[in-house]
């Protein structure tokens, strides 16, 4: 059984793209040690992160992330236990908003921050999965590449 948290947050005003690269670089190291996987989308200065793994590991890391001064206004959009990871081959994949097909944004009714009162957890999850080109059905997600096939396949930016 694994736990999956999806949250949104707003980058602090001083955060620059290089800081996002630093976050990802550090996250790869730590997440690989803790068996955590997921995806981080950075769009219009908002973060959307999916973090998954053993419940205790997710809890400990999320508590650290929530206290990180590089972002604010954290809102948990989904917090569930589930059988299969959705990002099994990514210690922490990264997508920048500029890499997302405008058609994907449009199809999800994207708005700045995707306000929690308007977008359900399921909608945010579907949006994230689409942004990362992941299958939206949990059944098909088990067909994703195994961790043994490498762990940077979905890291779109060169670090």
Ligand X SMILES: Cc1cc2nc3c(=O)[nH]c(=O)nc-3n(C[C@H](O)[C@H](O)[C@H](O)COP(=O)(O)O)c2cc1C
Residues that bind ligand X (CB under 6 A): 23, 26-27, 30-31, 40, 47, 49, 51, 61, 64-65, 68, 70-71, 92
Give the whole-angstrom CA distance, residue 4 versus residue 2. 7
Taking each helix axis from N to C end, the angle separating 17-34 and 55-66, rounded to the nearest 10 degrees, works out to 160
Measured from the CB of residue 49, what is the shortest distance to ligand X in angstroms?
A: 5
Measured from the CB of residue 36, what is the shortest distance to ligand X in angstroms?
A: 6
| DSSP state letter for 54 | S
Residues in the chain: 159
Measured from the CB of residue 81, what is the shortest distance to ligand X in angstroms?
A: 19
Give the whole-angstrom CA distance, residue 25 versus residue 30. 9
Complex with ligand X: residue 65 or 100, whichever CB lies closer: 65
Complex with ligand X: residue 27 or 141, whichever CB lies closer: 27
Measured from the CB of residue 134, what is the shortest distance to ligand X in angstroms?
A: 17
Measured from the CB of residue 147, what is the shortest distance to ligand X in angstroms?
A: 16
Complex with ligand X: residue 31 or 141, whichever CB lies closer: 31
Structural contact between residues 2 and 81, judged by C-beta atoms closer than 8 angstroms: yes
- 3 state SS of 70: coil
- 3 state SS of 56: helix
Which residues are CB-neighbours of 140 under 8 A, at least 6 positions away? none
Complex with ligand X: residue 66 or 143, whichever CB lies closer: 66
Complex with ligand X: residue 23 or 144, whichever CB lies closer: 23
């Amino acid at each position: 059984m694994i736990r999956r948290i999806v949250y949104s947050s707003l980058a602090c005003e001083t955060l620059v793209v290089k800081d996002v690269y630093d976050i990802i670089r550090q996250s790869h190291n730590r997440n690989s040690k803790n068996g955590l996987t997921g995806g981080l989308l950075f769009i219009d200065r908002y973060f959307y992160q999916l973090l998954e793994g053993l419940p205790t590991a997710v809890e400990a890391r999320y508590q650290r992330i929530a206290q990180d001064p590089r972002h604010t206004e954290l809102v948990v959009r989904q917090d569930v236990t589930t059988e299969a990871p959705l990002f099994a081959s990514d210690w922490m994949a990264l997508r920048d908003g500029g890499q997302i097909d405008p058609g994907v944004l449009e199809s999800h009714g994207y708005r700045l921050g995707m306000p929690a009162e308007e977008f359900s957890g399921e909608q945010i999850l579907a949006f994230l999965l689409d942004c990362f080109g992941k299958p939206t059905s949990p059944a098909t997600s088990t067909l994703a590449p195994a961790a043994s096939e490498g762990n940077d396949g979905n890291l779109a930016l060169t670090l």
